[in-house]
Amino acid sequence: MANLLYVDNSNVWIEGMHVSAVEKGLAPDVWAAAQNKICDYDWQLDFGKLFGFAGGDASEVKKAMLFGSRPPKNDSLWVAAERKGFEVVVYDRNKAGKEKKIDTDIVACMMEDSYEILVIGEDEITLVSGDADYVPAIEKLKRRGIAVNVVFWDHAARELKEVASKFVSLNEYLWLVTR
């Protein structure tokens, strides 16, 4: 069985900073951390550890994609992710500084890959994101007999947790995916 891994970098990183802030006692809970923009800015996501945790052994990963926004020119973030096995897809932010195109490209790639490289009954998809925007795509993939696992923090959208073939919380593994 092979895995196709799709990661929304900003989503897992920003929410991870909230979870870490709660763990360090900077906020009473993740909802307060998010609402009050309380983050542990020292927390860093380790791409290699995330790849291994969410995707499994590298030999079992048929494809691994990491999606995010363009960092400053002197930032080596995406180079580090590529060294750990990810194909990196980067988009510019819009004029208001908002991230655009990420969720729709993840969905488009999951759907395209489900027809072009995934073997139904043998392979599975793992999504690392917590947005309910992915629910319709997961429902369609599951109707075709494709297992879609979601790996994210406990506060992922309820509908996303419910539709996933399996939901794995990163909260108890915060230390494992920390650099």
The domain limits of the chain are: 3-11+47-173
- Tell me the one-letter amino acid at 71: P
Residue with tokens 């195109």: 101
Pairing of strands 87-91, 3-8: unpaired
**What's the fold here for domain 3-11+47-173?**
Rossmann fold (3.40.50)
Query: Six-digit token pair at 115?
Result: 């027809």
Look at residue 10 in the predicted model and tell me its pLDDT: 84
Distance from C-alpha of 53 to C-alpha of 127, rounded to nearest angstrom: 12
Run means of pLDDT, 10 residues per run, the chain, 179 residues: 88 91 92 91 86 79 84 58 72 71 91 94 94 95 95 94 95 87
Helix, strand, coil shares of the chain as percentages rounded to 5?
A: 40, 20, 35
Strand partners, 166: 149
Q: pTM for the complete prediction?
A: 0.89
- Helices 135-143 and 102-116 cross at an angle (nearest 10°) of 10
Distance from C-alpha of 25 to C-alpha of 30, rounded to nearest angstrom: 11
